Amino acid sequence: MMAKIKKGDLVQVIAGRTSNSKKIEERNARRAELGLDPIEPGDRGKQGVVLSVLGDRVIVEGINRVKKHVKASQNQRGGSAGGIETVEAPIHISKVALVGPDKKPIRVGHREVEVERDGRTKIMRERIGRRGGKEIEL
């Protein structure tokens, strides 16, 4: 059950290059001594809303933004003018974590609950969050 993250969920990037400016300055100072180019900051620690889920990848608002070169359209009815656009690229689902009500990342699991509908008792799976062995309602 890999797709525990759904469209509209708030997630945080937990893996990848850091966005901490102090750590990046220290790293770039060491790289400058070696004569190397500086490294740009990443998205680690940033939070955003899931726009779509594509199998094992998710598109998150404001995360993993890339430049896309778009060719001008010949359509006369409001076609694109072309140029360079900045769009969100997919990021692997293992590199993001669901954010709980206290704005911290949590692990997600499922619990089976009996629900009565139309006079029948069904067993449904309910999404729950866990941190430190305690369950958190989502």
| Alpha-carbon gap, residue 50 to 101, rounded angstroms | 16
Sheet of strand 96-99: strand arrangement = 91-92, 57-60, 47-54, 10-13, 96-99, 105-117, 120-131, 134-136
134 is in which domain, residue-wise? 101-138
User: pLDDT-derived band of residue 76, with 50, 70 and 90 as boundaries?
Assistant: low
Q: Are residues 92 and 120 in the same domain?
A: no
Q: How many domains does the chain have?
A: 2
Q: Are residues 82 and 17 in the same domain?
A: yes
pTM of the shown model: 0.72
| Alpha-carbon gap, residue 86 to 65, rounded angstroms | 6
Q: Are residues 124 and 85 in the same domain?
A: no
Contact yes or no for 13/63 (Cβ under 8 A):
yes
Q: Are residues 81 and 30 in the same domain?
A: yes
How does pLDDT run across 77-94, given as a tens digit for each residue? Answer: 666 778 888 999 999 998
CATH of residue 44's domain is: 2.30.30.30
Q: Are residues 119 and 52 in the same domain?
A: no
